[in-house]
Amino acid sequence: MKVLSLTEPYATLIKNGTKKIETRSWKTNYRGKLYIHSSSTKIPKEYRNNTALMSLVDDSPFNYGHIICSCELVGCVEMTDEFIEEIKKNKNEYISGIYEKGRYAWILKDIQVLDTPIKAKGHLGIWNFN
């Protein structure tokens, strides 16, 4: 299975369906099923201090070091000024990513929460877990 590791609270925001676009500095040609892994890294201080971002997370505990949900990666869009202006209309999505011209928006659909999170060590990029 293909997996993408994210720091919290971003992994949980995807799991909860709040975040449907993952923003990255790099593009991918991969399309298909993708599992989301909550990295072992604790929430960085700059994220914890972002009250707007943290207000989007419910009271459920973070599953650090676990694969927590699956989704379909259906597109990868290079961000333009027009794209960013359109995303700004969805405040929750906008504050859940880094939207800058030249970055990439990975479009996620069909998010499914795993009944039992799977313990795994994360990796950079899209990685394989058997």
CATH class, 2-128 region: mainly beta
Can you give the pTM of this predicted structure?
Answer: 0.93
- Residue 1 burial (CB count, 10 A): 12
Quick check: 130 pLDDT over 90? no
Give tens-digit pLDDT for 70-82: 999 999 999 999 9
Give tens-digit pLDDT for 6-52: 999 999 999 999 999 999 999 999 999 999 999 999 998 988 899 99
- Tell me which residue of 74, 108, 101 sits closest to 85, measured CA to CA: 101
Quick check: 60 pLDDT over 80? no
Structure confidence at residue 103 as a pLDDT band (50, 70, 90): very high
- Residue 59: its pLDDT value, please? 78
Domain ranges of the chain: 2-128
